Amino acid sequence: MKEPYRVEWVDVAALIDAVLRAEAVKPVQQAKRDAFRAYGVLGTRKDPPLTAIFYSIMLRLGLLDRVIQDLTGVRNPLLLDPRLRAALRVFTYLELYAKDRVAYSRKLECLKRTASWLTSKSHPYVGMWFVDVVKGLSSYAFIPKSVEDELIAKYLLPPWYVKKVFELVGEEEGDRVLRALAERPKISVRVNVLKTTVQEVVEKLRSGGKNPEVSQVVPTVIKFSGPYNFDKSELFRKGMIVVQEEPAALASLVLNPKPGEVVVDLAAAPGGKTEHMGELMGNRGVIHAFDVDGARMRRLEELVRRAGVSIVKTYVRDGREAPRLLGEGVADKVLVDPPCTSDGTLAKNPDLRWRLVESDVAKLSQLQYELLKAAVKLVRPGGYVLYTTCTLLREENEDVIAKILEKERGKVKLVPLEGPYGAGFLPGTMRVWPHIHKTIGFFYALLQKV
């Protein structure tokens, strides 16, 4: 049997800091890197095991909070001081869910130093209270008190979402879908053909100890097992590879922008698809990239600069304003990859599962429809609009397409997609399933303006 990884105080401190930062910094991978860098963990032999612990905590946040709720009597752990909440989440995980894999080098020191830190940052008695709560974990076992508790414990997901998936595909297949969303996927990158070749990237990854496999769906996508330090990667820093999942990379191939065309990306940041379209266009033509998020748009601008794509014009504006700003009937191709629930990416973004809110679904589907309406105005007769999401929910996929086809009857038609992935619930659309295709969940619908 493998020896448990032994955590010291600095490891626990790094984990608490990472969990704390993850509440404010997205993606959580960045929060983890920032915290591990601050504590001298990043890139050391401690990085892989502590990264695994961090992601296990993120995967269980909702369950950990249910335990904290039981132990403290606090109605909602979000009412606690963020530092205290982060510390309780880390110790609850270590005490209840990692005993066979993780052990303390000096548990008392870890407890005392955490307590002192909490006291110094908040109330004098918080540290003592924290120690008492952690001691209570030694005699605690989580016993579900309701069907909702049972679903949380079984799937590590909000009960409403579990029920939605069951309604979509039935309980038997839904169980397979939900379990796939808890499996850690391989790292996926796309080769920037403006700067290098797939073969060169494969060779460099092999020389770095990786065992890369080239995608059968998108020939420029390479997958390999982590961890991988992108901060130190020459391939990444020089723009030879772009972090992107296989289904996301396929989107640009489906839309198929050509050199010299006018393309509009209505929800472009952080820019993976925008950059890919620039590659496919051979840096000839123009891509108008819209997004309301200024920070994410700066990431897009940095990405296209690093990748050597020079035809992107950026607008920190709502994509629904694009027809007024650019004019109607001006685009050959329009990409609508709108904000969505993003549940298809839960395997690679484990913390996201606990930020899923049922009431957001209707709001998002309305926004998606309005962005599609703007796309129909933008595209010229005979031009194409590609609609994609990374959600499994029908309300944000087939229902949105059915609505635009009804409301814009006679103006647009659905162009049937037949592979490489599976059929959607609306004939002609296409879906990616995590349990079947071993990647993120995704949806595609290609429209043509009549």
Q: What does DSSP say about strands 213-214 and 221-224: parallel, antiparallel, or unpaired?
A: antiparallel
Q: Which residues are designated catalytic?
A: 390
Q: Which residue has the tokens 């590609």?
A: 386
Phi, psi of 381 (to 5 degrees): -55, 130
The one-character DSSP state at 409 is: B
What does the H/E/C string look like for 99-124? CCCEEECCHHHHHHHHHHHHHHHCCC
Partners of residue 21 on adjacent β-strands: none
Spatial separation of the C-alpha atoms in residues 10 and 311, rounded to whole Å: 46
* 311 contacts 336 by C-beta, under 8 angstroms: no
Token representation of residue 38: 């601050």
Spatial separation of the C-alpha atoms in residues 164 and 386, rounded to whole Å: 26
270 preceded by a cis bond (ω within 30 of 0): yes
HSE-up (13 A, CA, CB side) for residue 320: 9
* 424 contacts 416 by C-beta, under 8 angstroms: no
Q: Which helix (H) or strand (E) holds 236?
A: helix 234-237
* 352 contacts 444 by C-beta, under 8 angstroms: no
The one-character DSSP state at 414 is: E
Taken as a whole, the chain contains a residue count of 450
Pick from 64, 92, 91: nearest CA to 78: 64
